[in-house]
Structure 1
Amino acid sequence: MPKRPQKPCNAQSCNTLTRNARYCDDHAHLDKPWSGRKGSGRGGRPWRRLRDQVLRRDHFICQCDECRAQDRIRPAHEVDHIVPVAEGGTDDPSNLRAINHDCHEMKTQHESKAGIARRSVQNA
């Protein structure tokens, strides 16, 4: 069966050819529902502006607890809620920080496991 023809990535100013549905591998995260596309629950222009403000404030450097404790400098491309929204956190800039993608994944997994443990204790 012939391969799907390549087409340009849909990300702004990306000319990479891809066989994926919409985005190249570097921009595949933009196809996720929370990426800020119109119609998604989070995102839109207000969130993008706030996100850009936080990234500039933190100089595009990861501000996670582990990186700061180890004086490690990693580039940040995402914004993280220090206190998760599910636990009462807000979108106030004082509750947001720039974070590296890998650090954000680890923090999210840790929070998810803690939430599951908390629910199991409450239901016991």
Structure 2
Amino acid sequence: MSLWENDQNVFMGSSKDNFHGMSKTGEQFLAGVYHHLLSILAFTAPHPNSYDRIQPDTWSGAYLCWGKENREAPLRTACPPGVPLDLVSNFEIKSFDGCANPHLGLAAIVAAGIDGLR
């Protein structure tokens, strides 16, 4: 997921002053998603079998944390090829299960991110 405004990625930090490579808006949005991550699981992992997939030492995100390029964290900030390595252009939610309704899951993530912006 990334944040765009007028064809500009507003998630990416624009200067070296940003500690995590994210803009202030990006940090606030990610903080809202992180804060509500346990509640978001009701939408992104709706089935009891979904929780069997979320195990430590896998890429499904079993810990309550976030990390830059950390494949085991449920919230992983990343940047595609062509973006400088010290900047973050998007993040992904690793605990999104295949049996989830994608519309409800995305709505829960966006609502949590907007809460972080507030």
The TM-score range, normalised by the shorter chain, is under 0.3
Higher relative contact order (CA 8 A, sep 6+): 2
| TM-score of the pair, normalised by structure 2 | 0.28
- Mark the structure with the bigger radius of gyration: 1
| Structure with the largest fraction of helix | 1
